[in-house]
Amino acid sequence: MPSKSASMDPAEAAKAEAISAYQSYWTELPKAYAVPAIEGTELQRYTAAEALAKAQAGVANLKTLGQIMTGAPVLTNPTVTGAELDKKTPNVTISACLDVLPWKLIQKDTGQPAPLPSTRATKYVVIALVERWEDGWKVLKSTPHGDQPC
């Protein structure tokens, strides 16, 4: 059976691959934050640059604070809002809605929820920059827009 992308034009296939990589990023990031460690996840397969540095900093911060994250955020409606597919390094911009309410911050030693600001945004727009590298699409940047509910 031919792959889904075989029947699409190359631009649509590239956009679908970029969205798939971004979804994989949001599958792997909670795995890293649950340990906390990047090792044992495929996060480096789907991230580079700022997105990878932020994930590494997030893991380090959780370790320092003795915290983990359980559950996972829910990413909905990922949509390509910009594409530069004819550049030397093709890239797309993706906008999506991220619901972080199911993602819980826990004190590792007690298993109790860690305090979070009651005013924090829990469902908001995220904008990502995703580039196609030799080994696949990678999220370079994922920026939360807590002031933009969705």
Structure tokens at 107: 């004190």
The answer to whether residues 66 and 106 touch, using CB atoms and an 8 Å cutoff, is: no
pLDDT tens digits in sequence order for the chain, 150 residues long: 444 545 679 899 999 999 999 999 999 999 999 999 999 999 999 999 999 999 999 999 999 999 999 999 999 999 999 999 999 999 999 999 999 999 999 999 999 999 888 888 999 999 999 999 999 999 999 999 999 999
The answer to whether residues 133 and 46 touch, using CB atoms and an 8 Å cutoff, is: no
5-11: long-range pairs with CB below 8 Å, 24+: 10/85, 11/83, 11/85
pTM of the model: 0.91
